[in-house]
Amino acid sequence: MAIRPRTWLERKTRERALRQWTALAQQVETLGPGRLRRLREEALDLRGSLERFLVGADRRAIRSRAALDALHLPGGTDWRWRPGFMAGQISPPGIARPENGGRLGDDAAIWHDCPQRALILGQVATRGATDLSPFAIRLEVFGFSGSFLSMSVDLPPSALEGLTRNHVLRLETGILAERAIRVYARLNIGHGPNIDEVTEQLPGFEAGHYSRQVTEFDLAYTQMNDRRLEKVWLDLIFEAPWMNAVEIRELFFSRHLRAEF
């Protein structure tokens, strides 16, 4: 591949400036007052420019991800959503030894019956070239002695607007596990006093293998009353999670009307 001289020179200039500021940071205690004041003003100007660049770059990345999301969606898609903990930073970014029902951000909760609470649930940044979500959720499980472990994700009220039994709810997942594990996805639909459940097993996850897949929940197989809808949420259920770490790099929901024949 040919090297563009101007691009190469600009990159080298930025690398040289980085080395200079790194060295100045190490010498800050020995700098004279006058020089320190001038360099501080330069640093503030530089920080302002860098922050403006980062804000613009992040906005463009979000637009690009949204465009890529729409490329592969089925025709007739009328709603799509990615949980807030995958779209932006949350605070606090993680919880250790969570209680049963402990929450991470506004959308997620962890459910378990492990007496030792030997778990860590946290948000991490994604760095893969194919990752569309800027953040992932990492679940670390140690000496787990409970009988169940799941993570629930609350879908927003917009998921209920216009929802009927003619819809198919589509879930796109991207999961990486340190050890082989079985994962189930259970869709829960609350309508009046009733809750309908649809459970699908995600294809097996091999150790160290990143798997992206699509699961579809056909609402025709439920008995939901679309005039009394109150809540929709998803449970990701982990079978035999002992001594494992699972990274959920993608959770992308959408819905479309079932094709009529």
Residue 1: per-residue pLDDT? 47
Residue 68: per-residue pLDDT? 47
Going by C-alpha positions, the residue among 161, 157, 71 that lies closest to residue 106 is 157
Please list the rounded mean pLDDT of every run of 10 residues in the chain (261 residues). Answer: 66 86 89 88 85 63 51 82 88 91 91 93 80 87 91 95 94 91 94 92 78 91 91 95 92 87 48
Residue 100: per-residue pLDDT? 95
Residue 75: per-residue pLDDT? 82
Residue 3: per-residue pLDDT? 53
Residue 54: per-residue pLDDT? 65
Q: Which two tokens stand for residue 224?
A: 């939901």
Domains and CATH numbers, the chain: 5-71 (no CATH), 78-257 (2.60.120.260)
Sequence-ordered list of residues with C-beta below 8 angstroms from that of 161, at least 6 positions apart, any chain? 79
Residue 4: per-residue pLDDT? 63
